[in-house]
Structure formats: C-alpha cells, structure tokens
Amino acid sequence: MKHILVLGVILSASLVFGQQPRQATLAQQKVCADQARKTFHADNVTRPPHMLVWEYTSHYEPRTNTCYIMTHFVTAQEKSVSISFSVYDAIEGRGYASFIQVGHDVMDCTISPPGHDTTNCKTSDEFERLVDKNFGIGK
C-alpha cells in the first residue's frame, strides 16, 4: 500500500506540471530520497560489525518515473575483502544491476536496464560507468 501511495505522489507531481520534465523536481527527488532511505533501512536493519562501508544513494528518473537506489557494501572477514553494489527500484524492488567482488575476483557484474538486454561487465570501473549511463546514479 505504501508503494502505491509513494508512486501516486510521484505521478501526481508529474501530472500537475504537464508533460514529464527532463529533470526531476525537488518534490520528486525528496519523495525518492525518503523512499530510498526507508527501503535501505528495511532491507538492512543493522550494520554488521565486519562491514566497512554500508551506504546507499538514490536518483529519481522522471522519464521512466523510477526511483533508483544503489547500495554499496564493503566487508572484511578472514583477510578477505568483499565489495558489492546493487541497483534496484526503491519502490517496486525490481533489480537492475549487480556487482560482487571477493578479493581480486569479480564474481558478478551485470547491468539490466529496462527494455534492454543484460550487459556483462568485468571491472568495478566499467560497472560504475554503465550504471551512471543507464540509470543516472553513481558514487
């Protein structure tokens, strides 16, 4: 129900101003940021003690009416460092991109923009570039 309400607020704000703007309004950005914060903390209730980086960022895309969230985690356990990024819809939960690196080995690096084929990548730099290009969200 909350997801429908949030989506309704975003859609209403878009309709009030006529055509979908090319840039998000401050109201749309705030609704998205609030939803991303709630989603992040609901999915990640407490920060594990071995977690070095535990953060997220959000971006509202008015052309697709999507509130993207990108999570970033870095963990250190038993002399091994793991890095992960995920991009998903903060309202619907649909996943669009994933990057997982354990030590020096990239275990997963995929980008799946809506309406396009999945792209595989090989490095964190390539992942960040593709995420920024396809979703407008980056570090």
pLDDT band at 1 (very low <50, low <70, confident <90, very high): very low
DSSP 122-138: SSHHHHHHHHHHHHS--
- Work out the average pLDDT over 72-89: 93
Residue type, position 59, single letter: H
pLDDT by residue (tens digit) across 2-47? Answer: 444 444 444 444 444 445 457 878 899 999 999 999 988 888 777 7
* Burial label, 36 (beta-carbon count in 10 A; 0-12, 13-18, 19+): buried
Residues in the chain: 139
Q: Measured in Å, how far apart are the chain's first and last C-alpha atoms?
A: 31
- Average pLDDT, whole number, for the chain? 84
Predicted local distance difference test score (pLDDT) of residue 19: 53
- CB contact set of 128 (below 8 Å; sequence gap of 6+): 85, 138, 139
- C-alpha dihedral over 137, 68, 54, 85, to 10 degrees? -70
Contact in structure between 123 and 106 (CB atoms under 8 Å): yes
Question: Which amino acid, 89?
Answer: D
116 vs 49 pLDDT, higher one: 116
**pLDDT band per the 50, 70, 90 thresholds, residue 124:** very high
